[in-house]
Amino acid sequence: MSLPKLHVAVLMGGWSNERPVSLMSGEGVATALAERGHRVTRIDMDRDVAARLAEAAPDVVFNALHGTPGEDGTVQGMMDLMGLTYTHSGMVTSVIAIDKELTKQALVPHGIPMPGGRIVETREIFERDPLARPYVLKPVNEGSSVGVAIVTDEGNYGNPISRDAKGPWQEFDRLLAEPFIRGRELTTAVLGDRALMVTELKPKSGFYDFDAKYTEGMTEHVCPADLPEDITQACLDIALRAHRLLGCKGCSRTDFRWDDERGVEGLFVLETNTQPGMTPLSLVPEQAAKLGISYGELVEIIIADALAEKGKPA
């Protein structure tokens, strides 16, 4: 596809835990757009972001932020009030999808399989386990496996968990406790209204955490994943349904755990990411490339989707 030449503001950085990743995503997007002849304004988000966007007056904003407040609906609401056209999901979708409990409430009643579990006050876990071990503790509204801990009988967190042990309980007042699902880590990207393919992630550390995601050589990507056909198709179907149910725009990425001893009954959605990474190690560009979509074309497809949503010519 080919877009008319546009003025694109690439919004990146910010102050979340995922700032370094956002800067890499944003720089990749900005470079690709410039190479394709677009005028690009790079904006490293700080507290005067509204004034900087107003001054730039772009045709469209490419939202390359990750985490809060760029992915949780805050920046989306600001841009809505400013009348700006921007990529990826809108305010309401972003509010729901960043919150793992709200995501469950939106998806599970429609048959999307997700792990059980409950929200716990952090102080509770120092007195007793919220679930039978092994289980997972994670922040309610962070991405990129930020602050995720797997609590096992053999782990070094203590029993009950020690206040001094390093983990998400030192940073967050509330956590989501879920049963640990053994098995394989899978992910599926959706671009526009098309599920792309399934990637299996094989972290060399044994857990696909923040470092494994963004440090070269720490995770093997098997793309496309070597899976039974029914599991591949289930991932594609579920990711597309989650994308639609949540109201995602542009692109999204749905992450799964699959207990391969249970067949399709062992497949569970962990989360749907509304602003997937666009770094050299990111999964959406990798899947797109396998289907013959270059990085630059991928960026333009996401922008074209945003323009079409606003009724502007693409």
The catalytic residues are 18, 144, 214, 253, 255, 271, 273, 277
User: Which among 178, 175, 189, 284 is positioned nearest to 242, based on CA atoms?
Assistant: 189
Token pair recorded at residue 185: 């880590």
State whether residue 228 is helix, strand or coil: coil
The CB-side HSE value for 194 (13 A sphere, CA atoms) comes to: 12
Q: Could you tell me if 5 and 58 are in contact, meaning their C-beta atoms sit under 8 angstroms apart?
A: no
Q: What are phi and psi of 138, to 5 degrees?
A: -150, 155
Q: What are phi and psi of 60, to 5 degrees?
A: -155, 150
- For 125, residues 6+ apart whose C-beta sits below 8 A from its C-beta are 137, 160, 161, 169, 175, 177
